[in-house]
Amino acid sequence: MLRLPRFRLLEPRSYGEAAQLLAENGAGALDRSRGTPTLRVMLVAGGTDLFPNMKRRQFTPELLISLARVRDASGIQRNGHLDISAGTTLSAIAQDPGIRERSTALAEAAEVVSTPQLRNMGTIGGNICLDTRCNWYDQSLFWRTAEGFCMKTNPDVVCRVATSSPRCLAVASADTVPALLVLGATVHFEDAEGGRDVPLADLYQEDGIQPMALRQDEVLTDVTLPEADGWRSTYLKMRDRGSFDFPIAAVAAAVRWDGAKVSEARIAITALGSRPQLVADAARPLVGTSLDDVTIALAAEAVHKAARPMDNTSGTISQRKRAALVFTERALRSLRPA
C-alpha cells in the first residue's frame, strides 16, 4: 500500500501553543528541496484529507502539528449565537438537533461529506481549510511523474486544465463552506500574537494554489453563526455516488421569511470554481418576493452565470453548470413555507 512519508508529530494542548509551534517552526516557508514545493510545517486535525494527500506525496511536511489533543477543541455552544469549535467532527454537527432544526443547510452539508467513517474523524475546521482539488493534482507521485506535474506542485509547469491559465484552476470542494456562507459565518483565527475574526466570505480567493487569504502561522479555532431566527436553509450537492464523493456542483440557499415575503436571502455555490462564493446577483431578486417560479428562475440564471466549472473533476462542464441551475431552483422551492 501507499505509505506515509516520514514526519515528526507534535501534539500541543492548546491553540495558543499550536500557533506558537507554527511560528517557531518556520510556518509559511516553502521547501523546494524535494522536487515538489511543500510547507515545512502543517496543521492536521482529522487528517482525512491530509494523510491521503501526503501518501500521494502532494506535500511532505517535515513536521505536523496535530490539533487532536487540544483541550476543548470540540463542542457546540449557543449564547445568542451558535459557536462551533473547529475540532467538532462533521458527524457531531450533522447529528446536532439544534443545527438540524435552525441551521439546516450546515447539518445537511456535514451529513454528505465523504463516508460515515471519515465524518467521524473529519472536523469542521479541516473542512473549511480543505485543500483545493483537481484530477491532475490529486494523484500519486508516480502518476504526476508520468504526467509531468502541474502548476500546483511545480511552479515551472503550466496549469494542465487550461494551459494558458495564469493561475491554478483547482476546485474548491468543501461541502460545509457554502452552507456556512449562507448562514453568515465568521471564523476566528489565533496566532502567536493574538487573534482575529474574519467573515468567512472574505477568507476565500480565486486561486487554486492559495485558496485562502490566510497566514500560515494562524490556527482556525472557532466558527460563529448568528442566530437563525426566521431563516430557512438547505444544501444540495451533486456527486456521482450516494456516498464517498466530493461535490462536483453544490448550492446552498438561505432565506429569511418575514410573513409571506422574503426579507433576506443568500445563495452560495462550491465545486464550480476555485473558491466557494456567495452569489449576490442570485440572492438580490429574491428579496421582497414569496419565491414564485419566475423569481426562482432569475436566481437560478444568475447562479448559472456565476458557475465556472473546469474540466478537472468528475462529471462534465455542461452537466455541472446545469446542475448549479437546477439545484438552485430545487433548493429555493424547498425553502417555501410548508
- What residues make contact with other proteins under the rule CB under 8 A? 1-3, 6, 115, 135, 138-140, 142-143, 145-148, 158, 160, 163, 238, 240-246, 314-316, 318-319, 322-323, 326-327
Cβ neighbour number for residue 161 with a 10 Å cutoff: 21
CB of 80 to other proteins, least distance (A): 38
CB of 57 to other proteins, least distance (A): 10
Region at 184 (left for phi over 0; alpha for psi -120 to 50; beta for the rest): left
Nearer to other proteins, 160 or 275 (CB): 160
Q: What is the DSSP letter of 190?
A: E
CB of 267 to other proteins, least distance (A): 18
How far apart are the C-alpha atoms of 249 and 155, rounded to whole Å? 28
Q: Which residues contact 75 (CB under 8 A, 6 or more apart)?
A: 84, 85, 88
Nearer to other proteins, 27 or 171 (CB): 171
Q: What is the DSSP letter of 201?
A: G
Nearer to other proteins, 203 or 306 (CB): 306
**Would you say 221 and 190 are in contact if contact means Cβ atoms under 8 Å apart?**
yes
Residues in the chain: 338
CB of 244 to other proteins, least distance (A): 6
Nearer to other proteins, 33 or 318 (CB): 318
CB of 2 to other proteins, least distance (A): 5
Nearer to other proteins, 95 or 135 (CB): 135
Nearer to other proteins, 210 or 316 (CB): 316
CB of 38 to other proteins, least distance (A): 16
Cβ neighbour number for residue 280 with a 10 Å cutoff: 12
How far apart are the C-alpha atoms of 268 and 74, rounded to whole Å? 26
Alpha helices in 171-235 (DSSP H): 176-182
CB of 207 to other proteins, least distance (A): 21
How far apart are the C-alpha atoms of 130 and 153, rounded to whole Å? 16
Give the largest Cα separation in the chain, rounded. 62
- Residue 266 has φ and ψ, to the nearest 5°, of -140, 140
Dig out the grid coordinates for 263 from the structure. 426579507
Nearer to other proteins, 238 or 283 (CB): 238
